[in-house]
Structures are given as structure tokens and as C-alpha cells.
Amino acid sequence: MKKRMNVQKEIERLDPKADCQRIVFLTSYLEFPWDMTRALELALFRTFAVPSIAALLDRTGEFSNDTLRRYDDTSIIINEIMINGYYSERGGAFIKRMNRMHGQYDISNDDFLYTLSTFIYEPIRWINKFGWRTLYRNECLALYHFWSAVGERMRIQDIPPTYEAFEQWSLDYENKMFANTEATQRVANCTRDLLLSFYLPKSLWKTAEPAVYALMDEPLLKAMNYPLPSPATRRRVEAALRVRAKLMRLLPKHKNPQVMTFQQFPTHPDGYTVEDIGPKSLRDKWRQSA
């Protein structure tokens, strides 16, 4: 217990801007490792609800033809940046790799900006609803400053200057842009099935789909053309997550950061370097031009 209190006290005393890399690391890998992963998975779905983002992902074929590889590579980049920080040589290398991948496509600044916002606000909403404690103000602000700094290194323009302004911008963008398209459904269905495959045999996926939908809000469900879960289903799913939160409050917490290792990425069984990340077509192209 003393160790845990020390972690929380450290978070509270750190500056949310100057120390955002340290706060994000502690929050993500000591306090809420499971919740952070689930929240970032849900953040993926929010980006699919923007037709221009879904159309690009669908057009590349990455989510339909190599869903697990796309998921693993996305997880690796996010984890490398969050674990090592954007100032580190390793974190910077993965940001450069991400920029190089994105540079192959015509992506609007607003789509970049919206995607960035989901990395901030989806974890905050999830943890405040289902975590074993709510986030401190320091943690919320640290997520904003952390991802804003990453966004600057991605050359994203017009990042809103405050936590509240960025959240409002993100909500307004959803209201304006969320729409159902065939591309949205295809990339969302592939990702939904992949996430279900982590926990269940294929024969049970259909039965479990309502539980996935119960984690999504109505605007997102409509954009995905998914059925609204019954109030009873939503209550059961949320109750199960709140029971987990209560148990987590009672159980001993992690003493060491729960960082993901290469063994947890099936598409990289022998490990990876920064050059291994990205679609095969781009990796082959870059090797030929080297």
C-alpha cells in the first residue's frame, strides 16, 4: 500500500505540462494498464466513424487483409512513444516512422487532429467510468500536453491551446463528421472481430457482439450501423466492469510497470525494430529506395 501511495503522490506533485511524459507513463503502465489498452482500442472505432479516415483505411486494405498486423503495429508505435517519451531517441524514431507512413497518403489536418484527440479523451472517459479510481486533474492535463507535444512532432497544425478547447473541438468534429459508410462498416467489423478473437472462439463471436456494442455510445453505434444494445445488456456489461473496478481497489496493485513486450505481438514473434513497422508494400518500397 505504501508503494502505491507513493506513486499517486508522485503523480499529484508533478507538473502536468513539464512532467507529462512521466505522468502518462505512471498512469498508463502502473495505475491503469488494462484500462488504457481497452480505451485506446475503443478510440480506434471512433476514428472509423469519420468517413474520410475509414475510406483511407479501407482503400489501403490493411484492416481487411492484415488486421492483426495493423493492430500490432499501431499498438507498438503508441506504446513505444508512451513508454519511452517523445524526447527519447527511441520514441522519436517511432514518431518519425509514423510520419513517414502517414506521408504516403493525403490526410487532412483535421483528421489528424481528431485522431490525436481520441488518444486523450477516450482514456479519460473510460477510466473515469470503469477504472478503480478516477483520474486526477494532473493526469487529464498530462494526457493533453503529452499528445499535443506528439502532435507537434507529427506537424499537426492548430492544436487547440487548452484541454477544454480541444475536448470541445473533438466533440464538435464528431457531431459534424460522424456518418455511416460501407468503408466504416468494413474496417469496424474487421477490428471488432479481431478483438473478439483475443478472448473467444469464433463460434461465440456473434453471441458476444452485443457486449461490444454496449461499450459504445449511440452516435458511434449509428455511424457503425450497429444495433443499439438493450438497456439490460448495457447494464450487465457496465456492472461487470464496475465489479472489476471494485476488486481492483481491494487487490494489491502492480509493483512494476506493465509494459508490453515483443512476445505479446503475434505478428512480430522474434521482436521488431523500427524498420519492421508499417505495411509490407511501404516497407518493400523503402528497402528498394535505400
Nearest to 160 by CA among 3, 265, 172, 222: 172
175 close to 190: Cβ distance less than 8 angstroms: no
pLDDT: which is higher, 283 or 243: 243
Give the separation between CA 25 and CA 7, rounded to whole angstroms.
Answer: 11
Give the separation between CA 190 and CA 193, rounded to whole angstroms.
Answer: 5
Please report, for the chain, the start and end positions of each structural domain, with discontinuous segments joined by +: 2-282
Nearest to 261 by CA among 95, 88, 80, 98: 80
Tell me what pLDDT residue 265 has: 84
CA distances from 233 to 20, 211, 213 (A): 37, 7, 9
Tell me what pLDDT residue 111 has: 98
Q: At what angle do helices 231-250 and 109-130 cross, to 10 degrees?
A: 70
All cell numbers assigned to 2: 505504501
Give the separation between CA 9 and CA 97, rounded to whole angstroms.
Answer: 35
Tell me what pLDDT residue 113 has: 98
Tell me what pLDDT residue 108 has: 97
pLDDT: which is higher, 263 or 196: 196
All cell numbers assigned to 140: 487529464
| Mean pLDDT across 203-225 | 96
> What would the pLDDT profile of 67-116 be if each residue is shown by its tens digit?
899 999 999 999 999 999 999 999 999 999 999 999 989 999 999 999 99
pLDDT: which is higher, 208 or 251: 208
Q: At what angle do helices 67-84 and 89-102 cross, to 10 degrees?
A: 140
Please, which pLDDT band fits residue 2 given cuts at 50, 70 and 90?
A: very low
Q: Cβ of 223: how many Cβ atoms within 10 Å?
A: 25
Tell me what pLDDT residue 99 has: 95
Please, which pLDDT band fits residue 269 given cuts at 50, 70 and 90?
A: confident
31 close to 25: Cβ distance less than 8 angstroms: no
128 close to 134: Cβ distance less than 8 angstroms: yes
Tell me what pLDDT residue 262 has: 43
1, pLDDT greater than 70 = no
| Mean pLDDT across 269-281 | 85
Report CA torsion sign: 6, 37, 147, 129: negative
Buried b (16+ CB within 10 A) or exposed e, 256-272: eeebbeeeebeebeeeb
| Mean pLDDT across 140-169 | 98
| Mean pLDDT across 119-148 | 98
Tell me what pLDDT residue 6 has: 85
264, pLDDT greater than 80 = no
pTM score:
0.93
Rg from Cα positions in the chain: 19
| Mean pLDDT across 26-45 | 95
